[in-house]
């Protein structure tokens, strides 16, 4: 039985946390069958895998397709902490998912409503429901905190560098 969206988004946020601990952009994804069973979960691994396609959504889709024995996943819902990009939305459309639920919008790369809307493009042969803004604040704060931490780390390294012109010698 399907639980509420926040239940599955909490799982996606947990996946995103795993990514952040590896210094990957903290985006998490969970794919759920229409029965409510979690089929797969993944987080970003682009840096670790040295693979620009290793987004959380793509990795979760690959796992789900393997488990289901089919690249098409009708009736399934994908939960992502951040709006899927156009690459991920293309794969989601190809997989024939029924629904995408995401937390925070991605104004720069979003493919599910903010920049593009591949889920409802009449030129494509499949459309799916999009549910934006589920636990958006928690999702937004998680990714903002990560990038704030990255910036602070860069400043710290620059300040402690022996080549820093501000250092006393």
Helix, strand and coil percent figures for the chain, each rounded to 5: 45, 20, 40
Pair of tokens at residue 69: 């024995």
User: Known catalytic residue: 57?
Assistant: yes
Sheet holding 129-131, edge to edge: 38-43, 28-32, 77-82, 99-104, 129-131
C-beta of residue 73 within 8 angstroms of C-beta of residue 61: yes
Half-sphere exposure for 9 (CA within 13 Å, toward CB): 22
For residue 116, the 8-state DSSP code is -
- The active-site residue out of 15, 24, 57, 83 is 57
Residues 6+ apart with CB under 8 A from 122: none
Pick from 128, 75, 80: which is nearest to 106 by CA? 80
* Active site residue ranges: 57
């Amino acid at each position: 039985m399907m639980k509420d969206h926040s239940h599955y988004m909490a799982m996606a946020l947990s996946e995103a946390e795993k990514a952040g601990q590896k210094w990957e952009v903290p985006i998490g994804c969970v794919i759920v069958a229409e029965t409510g069973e979690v089929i797969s979960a993944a987080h970003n691994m682009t840096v670790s895998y040295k693979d620009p396609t290793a987004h959380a959504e793509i990795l979760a889709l690959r796992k789900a397709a393997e488990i289901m024995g089919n690249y098409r996943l009708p009736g399934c819902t994908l939960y992502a902490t951040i709006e899927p990009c156009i690459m991920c939305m293309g794969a989601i459309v190809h997989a024939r998912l029924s629904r995408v639920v995401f937390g925070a919008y991605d104004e720069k790369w979003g493919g599910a409503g903010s920049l593009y809307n591949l889920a409802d493009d009449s030129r494509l042969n499949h459309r799916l429901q999009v549910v934006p803004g589920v636990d958006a604040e928690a999702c937004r704060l998680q990714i903002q905190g990560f990038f704030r931490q990255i910036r602070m780390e860069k400043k710290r390294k620059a300040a402690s560098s022996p080549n820093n012109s501000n250092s006393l010698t």
